[in-house]
Amino acid sequence: MAAFIFLIALFTLMATAPPAYAAAALLITVDRSGKGDYRKIQDAIDAVPSNNKELVFITGNDSGNIIESATLTVLASDFVGRYLTIQNTFRKHGVQAVALRISGDRLAFFGCRILGYQDTLLDETGRHYYRNCYIEGAVDFICGNAASLFEITGERTAILGRPWGPYSRVVFALTYVSNIILPRGWDDWGDASKPSTVFYGEYKCYGAGANVSQRVEWSQNLSVEEIELFLTKNISGCRSWIRSTPKHFKKSFAAISNNSTQHS
């Protein structure tokens, strides 16, 4: 089985705490050419002290189990990923192969590429925010139980969503929807009882795929009053915890300075 591919040239792990706890982020740079702190991602992970609150696991390409197959798993809270490419290269229909699994609270991803085939992004639990990210997959490529806000685009043929479990809630608002979205919009996953508990809605979307005239009867075309809650970042509380890009960095791991001397 081939190893997973990490396509970014520079990997930055920012072990950041909320502003009240830290004035500067801890910056570790991985560069295969030897110009960073480490040449390998795993070496950077191994350098983090065992008592550090930021827990990140990097594994190889795997499949068959939605929890254990992830290329990258983030269990800690207050993690920020910027400009990362995370990929699970396993491709077989009907077999789960997660690229990114996130289960911490208050996680944000900016400009990231998350690539896989089935169940690409397991947005498992917690409150999460995605902006300008590219998420690719063929089957259920975004799934999970988290309260998340996505500001992303898409392509190819797809539906807007289907209920993995009861009380699934998905809303598309003020979104450009191309003709990749099938006219029915949503799917009940072959269980006629599931639509009774879901909340699937659209509000003032536009584009060739935004025509709601052929949507399933249990989806909703939301009113101004109904959409108000969803048009702010309060849906995941992220307005209070999303932090701007750090401008000041520090290096405190002794292992970094020791390792850097090996690059000369």
E strand or H helix that includes residue 259? helix 254-260
Helix, strand and coil content of the chain, in percent to the nearest 5, comes to 15, 30, 60
> Residue 255: pLDDT above 60?
no
Return the pLDDT at 103: 92
Of the residues 37, 78, 105, 119, which is catalytic?
A: 119
Residues comprising the chain, all counted: 264
The residue extents of the domains of the chain are: 1-152+236-264, 154-231
What's the pTM?
Answer: 0.64
> Residue 105: pLDDT above 80?
yes
Of the residues 140, 187, 188, 191, which is catalytic?
A: 140
Does 119 qualify as catalytic in the annotation?
yes
Domain spanning 1-152+236-264, CATH architecture: 3 Solenoid (2.160)
> How wide is the angle at C-alpha 184 spanned by C-alphas 179 and 188, nearest 5°?
130
The predicted-structure confidence for 128-183, as pLDDT tens digits, reads as follows 999 889 998 888 888 888 888 887 755 567 889 889 888 888 898 888 888 888 99
Does 43 qualify as catalytic in the annotation?
no
The predicted-structure confidence for 47-85, as pLDDT tens digits, reads as follows 777 776 655 555 756 787 888 889 888 988 888 888 888
**Pairing mode, strands 10-14 and 25-31:** antiparallel
> Residue 249: pLDDT above 90?
no
Return the pLDDT at 101: 94
